Homo-oligomer: A and B are copies of this chain.
Amino acid sequence: MDFAYSPRARQLIAQVEAFLREEILPAEAEYRRQLQSHDGPWCQPPIMESLKAKAKAAGLWNLFLPDNEWGAGLSNVDYAPLAELSGRSFLAPEVFNCNAPDSGNMEVLAKYGSPQQQERWLKPLLAGEIRSAFCMTEPAVASSDATNMQARAVVDGDSIVCDGRKWWSSGLGHPHCRVLIYMALTDPTAPPYARHSMVLIPIDSAGVKIERMLPVFGAYDEPFGHGEVSFNAVRVPLDHVIAGPGRGFEIAQGRLGPGRIHHCMRVLGAAERALELMIARARSRQAFGKALIDLGGNRDIIADARIALEQARLLTLKAAWMMDTVGAKAAMSEISQIKVVAPTVAQKIIDQAIQMHGGAGLSDDTPLAALYAYARVLRIADGPDEVHKALIAKLELRRHPEVPV
């Protein structure tokens, strides 16, 4: 048993930390200003492109991609601390070209894409030149149950015809968004796990309509945003189907494991930043003749946050290690466990950091409100807590076929 990061991970951690401290954190305010002041918030602030260029030059680019050929070839365990660091700033994931959903889309294309698909979509994604969206969740049904999916993608000769409505497609509003990965039912009579397909749909295809952008607690997360989008008899060539019709479910499963680890580490990074901000505030703010840190139960809040964070991080790292060593299937319970616990822990700590800041914590004077929304969303996205708990319990029962008293 060894809890130390590998030498390669340690070196990357040092580099990413330095880049965060020196380049990204100081740029947050300017980014926000540019977002407000340019041609509206749905444009790419120029400072982002310059940060991306610096990160690329420093080799801090596409670190998420386990594929050696296309990406950094890091294991899940080695990438995890970098994902965590990227959660400390809302700018960081894009700067390092490892933001969701592009990272998951790139993984899918690297693993399942045809050479043509990789040439057309993966290369510009890896270069940070275009962005993409992932269209799976639907407004009309509980998407936590995949069998509820209503969208269709019907093969018609050498093309495939897509009809459906999706929402919470993150990144749909980005001015660079060029392609959507659309998941839909192709053959309802096939075996349950061979019914769905994933189709690459250029965003400007006829029949694709962005119905609206969706707010989270009133914020739109510009310029990425979360969109509701309808597909009306959208026809694309059959070679736009990833790995061929009927493989959608399989691809989705493979996409979710690492994605959940990235999200969990990132949200723990968000919680670490919230804890730092809480401590800084508690020390510097005075009331009733004392710094807040010396009032009431504030030190207990900090201790409890530290305990919760350490535990959630270790569990996430163990899940990553299991992904690396025994695979996603054997790590199924652990992945569901972190998916429940990391956002929950983060939501609580960020809420407490908000409280320590008073009104400032709710405004956009600190990153806390945005971090909070991220943690809150994550308790629903990629499977709500309830679905993961049900799975954990089911696997737990299997572990105890007969229990001796």
Give chain A's interface residues, CB within 8 Å of chain B: 1-6, 9, 21, 25, 77, 137, 139, 141-145, 148, 167-168, 214-220, 226, 276-277, 279-280, 283, 285-288, 292-293, 295-300, 302-304, 306-307, 310-312, 314-315, 317-318, 321-322, 325, 333-334, 337, 340-341, 351, 354-355, 358-364, 366, 369-370, 372-373, 376-377, 379-381, 384-390, 392-394, 396-397, 400, 402-405
Q: What are the residues of chain B within 8 A of A317 when measuring CB–CB?
A: 1, 3
* Number of copies of this protein chain within its complex: 4
Q: What are the residues of chain B within 8 A of A384 when measuring CB–CB?
A: 355, 358
CA gap between A358 and B136 in the complex, in Å: 14
CA gap between A300 and B300 in the complex, in Å: 11
Does the CB pair A218–B369 fall under 8 Å?
yes
What would be 14 A-B contacts, judged by CB atoms less than 8 Å apart?
A1-B317, A3-B317, A145-B288, A215-B219, A217-B217, A217-B373, A280-B400, A280-B402, A297-B299, A302-B393, A302-B396, A303-B396, A311-B312, A362-B377
Are A390 and B21 CB-contacts (below 8 A) given A380-B358, A380-B359, A403-B280? no
Q: Min CB distance, A179 to chain B, in Å?
A: 22
Q: What are the residues of chain B within 8 A of A219 when measuring CB–CB?
A: 215, 217-219
Q: Min CB distance, A212 to chain B, in Å?
A: 9
